[in-house]
Amino acid sequence: MDKITVKRCPFKIFVNQTGYYPDSRKIAVMNFPCESFRIIDSGEVCRYEGKTELFGYDENSGDTVYRADFTDFTEEGTYRVTSGNEKSAEFSIAENVYDKVFGDVLKAFYYLRCGCGLEEKYAGVYKHGKCHTSPALLYDDKKTETDVSGGWHDAGDYGRYVTAGACAAAHLLYAYKMFPTAFEKRQLNIPESGMPDILAECRYELEWLMKMQREDGGVYHKVTTERHAPFVMPEDDNGQLYVFAVSSSATADCGAVCALASGIYEKYDKSFSEGLRITAEKACLWLEKNPEFIGFKNPDGCNTGGYGERDDYSNRFWLYAEMYALTGDKKYHDKIKKSLENNFPLTAMGYTEMGGLGALAYLLCGYETDKVLAKQFSDNFRREAERLKNISDKCGYGCAMEEKDFYWGSNMLVMVRGMIFAVSDYFEKKSTYKNYAAAQLNYLLGVNPTGYSYVTGNGEFRCNYPHLRPANADGIDECIPGMVSGGPNRFPGDRAAEMLIPKGTPPMKCYADNVDCYSLNEITIYWNSSAVFVLGYLCGGITKS
């Protein structure tokens, strides 16, 4: 794949390039003065006309924004929005409008599998040979060998990291648990069978996570080579693999996601479910013996991802909440309450803060819960959703982000905020925030001032050159589909981004579709997983009592 600089967007009218449900809110955004708009079909026949509204100045984009609302246009088909000489990318209105992008962002995990080859019948042109199957050495002694094959490549590199992997798997498992109808019949064309494909894919990661646990219950933080591989295919990355030191956050996160998974997989594979439960219990015992925070920092000479954290309060809380949800054992309920003496956010669901996942575990628990505590958790989600709604209302593009939020991987935060809207609706048994969850997806898929769909393979004007080694090394111009780009970052952190993004660029425009811009355009599994959750909500809906 050839490297490029910056491709200019050919459109000044921004739409969700995948499209819209017939009955959904539909708003196109313009950044030039206009009074009216038209919807035209593929034959350029006008199918709808309307007046635009001046939204006003949007700080995060630096644009004066006009909006075209065509919510009441519901006829299925393929269209563009036009105004004067300007037009939008093509989009669809249909009941199955999300089918392709949903399948792609979920199938992306298969393409990121490590420790196996990807066969042509499952991967098509993106097939490759077996990778990273040799034994790894413990970094601390560089003598002891261990088998830690499997799992997902985490990001643009070939490292595998426990905290990131646990977060991504939890997003997927909760998406399935809360919105099962969106997944039960969704086929991904992967080798496994006997359970919904999303669970088969998650199992691939969970089996690796279990391998990362020591006999005493501690969990190694990561497995990587000592330095990032060059831009080669995974089977050509033959550097020595190392397993790095145990951390308390990795131990808690591994235990938590295994406890969550144990309850879900019980009806499909009791033996696997039992193994997950044992892994979680061993993690709890290790943490009891090691009550202090044991962080992780790369040793000298290692440049692969660190995924360091400041404390493990939310990680332990998440573990104890999942263990109580799995077992109903009062001792874990006591640990939940003890954990809450520490200060951490109870709606966060990214890899650094797991409080929201712990709150989810408690709220979905089948055992008796403290009504006051449960109300506190659900109220937190509702209040946060209301706060984010107000931010979204102030943004011309409908994005629930403030200036300070546009940092490395900002698109993950956009999707996690979509998750918060979905979670609040789930527990309220209403669709109060459905339009706001959809607005975050709209932003990801083209309703943003760069004009890009930030999901590879989806949209007429889409990112195609992410910082992703196999996508660059495979010689195929069209990127592996379904990869979510990190997105705008007001603090460009690599030389290419610093050269391409002029100082003073509004935060929402600090983006370039360039393989060298890892601080703007890398991918990771937990950016994809949050998008899967939002799509699960929008496609699966809420079961109302």
For residues 308 and 412, give the distance between their C-alpha atoms in angstroms, rounded to a whole number.
Answer: 18
pLDDT of residue 351: 87
Q: Please determine, for residue 1, whether its predicted confidence score (pLDDT) is greater than 80.
A: no
Structural contact between residues 322 and 309, judged by C-beta atoms closer than 8 angstroms? no
pLDDT digits (tens, 9 = 90+) for 93-125: 999 999 999 999 999 999 999 999 999 999 999
**Amino acid present at 351:** Y
Residue 544 pLDDT level (bands cut at 50, 70, 90): very low
Which residue, 118, 150, 155, is CA-closest to 135?
150
Is the pLDDT at 7 greater than 90? The verdict is no
pLDDT in tens, 351-408: 899 999 999 999 999 999 999 999 999 999 999 999 999 999 999 999 999 999 999 9
DSSP string, 263-321: HHHTTT-HHHHHHHHHHHHHHHHHHHH--S-----PPTT--S-----S--HHHHHHHHH
Tens digit of each residue's pLDDT (9 = 90 or more) over 413-424: 999 999 999 999
pLDDT score of 2:
45
Average pLDDT over residues 158-174: 98
Strand partners, 19: 92
450 confidence band (pLDDT: 50, 70, 90): very high
Beta pairing class for 160-161 and 136-138: unpaired
Mean per-residue pLDDT over the chain, rounded: 96
Q: What is the Cα–Cα distance from 149 to 362, expressed in whole angstroms?
A: 33
Q: CA 445 to CA 465: how far, in whole Å?
A: 16
Residue 5: which pLDDT band, with cuts at 50, 70 and 90? low
Tens digits of per-residue pLDDT, 252-292? 999 999 999 999 999 999 999 999 999 999 999 999 999 99
Distance separating alpha carbons of residues 240 and 493, to the nearest angstrom:
28
pLDDT digits (tens, 9 = 90+) for 468-508: 999 999 999 999 999 999 999 999 999 999 999 999 999 99
User: Per-residue pLDDT for 162 more than 70?
Assistant: yes
Give residue-wise pLDDT tens across range 333-348: 999 999 999 999 999 9
Among 137, 2, 63, 15, CA closest to 441: 15
Q: Tell me which residues are annotated as active site.
A: 157, 467, 513, 522
- For 22, the token pair is 């017939």
Question: The pTM is what?
Answer: 0.97
